[in-house]
Each structure stands twice: as C-alpha cells, then as structure tokens.
C-alpha cells in the first residue's frame, strides 16, 4: 500500500491512500475516454509530463525522451487532440487501462509521490484497426489544492518497451 524507504518520507494513512487511488483511477478513466478538458482540470500550472525512453535512470534535460512536456506544451497538445483534426486520432482510439500496485508516500513538504503499474489497451481505429498493448510504471506527484482536492504536477510514464521502436503515441498516456 505505501512506500517510505527514504529519510523524510512517510507512509500515508488509509483515507489518504483511498483519495490518492481514486484520483489515479479518475485520471486514467478521463484519459481513456478522451475527456481531455476534464483531464486537464486535474493538472497544476507547474505540470511536467514525461515519457522517458524506458525504465531506468534518465534525466529529462539530458536524455532523449519520447515526450517531455511542460504545462504550455501539454496545453497545446490537448488543444490539438480536442480539435478532432489530429489525424493519428481520427477517429479517436478506444482505450481502457488497468491501474494497480499503487504505492504512495508523503514527502516532507506535504506533497505526495505515487507509483503505480498500468496496462493500457488501445484500439487503433484510424490506422491498423489493431489493438496495441502499452504497459509500464507511472510516477505521479500530487498536492492538495486549497479546496482539498488533489492536483497533479508531475507524471512520468515509464514504458516497459520504451527503448524499442514504438508506434505513434498520439494520445495522453
């Protein structure tokens, strides 16, 4: 349920764990359903969205990434997806993911660092009509908003095949 291996990090209680898990499940569902405006409402102004080239110790500023979006680039990508004219997503891929193995810790500053595993099935309607399977581990960083809800300011998606040739990732994972 929780991780707390590093000094200064503490485990979260059951109620916090429930809220964090519910956030992850909602974030996944909104992305799966291409409800990008609602998905974007979960994002903080200092958001970093990063898909490194696989699992391992990479630096977003030094290593090649599949995606490395700051808030502005992420906003632009979402706007493109919402136009309905992003050719790789016309018609929009049908997607469903399973999120599990959720581990959460509270950082010394009160923010949360959360790890989870996922499997995403994507039906590529626009190109091959095949089902792509994406799997990996995600690191989310979340913080409480003034209204008590959670906001996401960091998402790192480590695909198990990120170092291999990949088909287009025209959607948010």
Query: Across the 173 residues of the chain, what is the mean pLDDT of every consecutive 10-residue run?
Result: 55 95 98 92 96 88 90 89 66 91 96 97 81 95 97 96 82 71
What is d(CA 58, CA 155) in angstroms, rounded to the nearest whole number?
A: 14
Query: Could you state, in order of their start, the residue ranges of all structural domains in the chain?
Result: 10-159
C-alpha distances out from residue 6 to 9, 10, 73, 124, 141, Å: 6, 9, 32, 41, 16
Chain segment 130-145, per-residue pLDDT in tens = 899 999 999 999 999 9
User: Looking at domain 10-159, which of 3.10.450.50, 3.30.70.380, 3.40.630.90, 3.40.930.10 is its CATH number?
Assistant: 3.10.450.50
């Amino acid at each position: 349920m929780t991780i707390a291996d590093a000094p200064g990090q503490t485990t979260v209680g059951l109620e916090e764990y429930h809220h964090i898990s519910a956030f992850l499940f909602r974030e996944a569902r909104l992305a799966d359903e291409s409800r990008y405006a609602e998905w974007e409402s979960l994002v903080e102004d200092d958001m970093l969205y990063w898909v490194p080239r696989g699992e391992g110790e990479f630096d977003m500023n030094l290593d090649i990434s599949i995606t490395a979006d700051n808030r502005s680039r992420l906003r632009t990508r979402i706007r493109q997806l919402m136009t309905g004219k992003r050719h790789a997503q016309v018609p929009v891929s049908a997607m469903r993911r399973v999120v599990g193995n959720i581990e959460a810790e509270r950082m010394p500053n009160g923010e949360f660092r959360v790890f989870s595993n996922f499997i995403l099935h994507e039906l590529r309607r626009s190109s091959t009509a095949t089902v792509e399977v994406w799997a990996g581990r995600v690191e989310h960083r979340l913080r409480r908003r003034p209204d008590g809800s959670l906001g996401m300011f960091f998402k790192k998606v480590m695909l198990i095949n990120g170092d291999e040739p990949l088909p287009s990732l025209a959607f948010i994972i």
